[in-house]
């Protein structure tokens, strides 16, 4: 089935530094969703990207979908301690059940 690779697995940054996580697939992705999971918590939906080349922003977060729809990225500008958590990308299947295939996630630590 569809495999979604996510890198890096871990990232430690100093507060105020930028952070980027990348999601890649060898096949064309349908729609990409991004989720954030705080330590000990559950995944929370952030955004969905649908179109090739799409760029969306949420305050300090910028989400991009590649032109070939084979990759996506999440960039956080000037990280804060509230950004700590694991960020997952997920490919939304085009079948009737609309399943999600998740990447393995990037765990972000922000050092104060």
Partner 1 sequence: NAGVTQTPKFQVLKTGQSMTLQCAQDMNHNSMYWYRQDPGMGLRLIYYSASEGTTDKGEVPNGYNVSRLNKREFSLRLESAAPSQTSVYFCASTGLSYEQYFGPGTRLTVT
Per-residue tokens: 39: 């330590």
Beta 10-14 vs 106-111: how paired, if at all? Answer: parallel
**CB of 101 or CB of 109, closer to partner 1:** 101
Nearer to partner 1, 27 or 45 (CB): 45
Taking the complex as a whole, the smallest distance from the CB of residue 16 to partner 1 amounts, in Å, to 28
What's the rounded Cα separation, in Å, for the pair 10 and 69? 24
Q: Would you say 87 and 21 are in contact if contact means Cβ atoms under 8 Å apart? A: yes
**Which residue number, 37 or 77, has a Cβ lying nearer to partner 1?**
37
Residues forming contacts to partner 1 in the complex (CB under 8 A) are 1, 6, 9, 31, 33, 35, 41-45, 48, 88, 92, 96-105
Closer by beta carbon to partner 1, 10 or else 18: 10
82 exposure class (CB count in 10 Å sphere: 0-12, 13-18, 19+): exposed
Least CB distance from residue 99 to partner 1, whole Å?
6
Q: How far apart are CA 2 and CA 84, in angstroms?
A: 28
CB of 6 to partner 1, least distance (A): 8
- In whole angstroms, how close is the CB of 79 to partner 1 at the nearest point? 22
């Amino acid at each position: 089935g569809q495999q979604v690779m996510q890198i890096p697995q871990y990232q430690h940054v100093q507060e105020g530094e930028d952070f980027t996580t990348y999601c890649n697939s060898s096949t064309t992705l349908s729609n990409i969703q991004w989720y954030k999971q705080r330590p000990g918590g559950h995944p929370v939906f952030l955004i969905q990207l649908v179109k090739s080349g799409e760029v969306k922003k949420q305050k300090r977060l910028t989400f991009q979908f590649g032109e070939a729809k084979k990759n996506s990225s999440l960039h956080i500008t000037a990280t804060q301690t509230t950004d700590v958590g694991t960020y997952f990308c997920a490919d939304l299947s085009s079948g009737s059940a609309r399943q999600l295939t998740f990447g393995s996630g990037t765990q972000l630590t922000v050092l104060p």
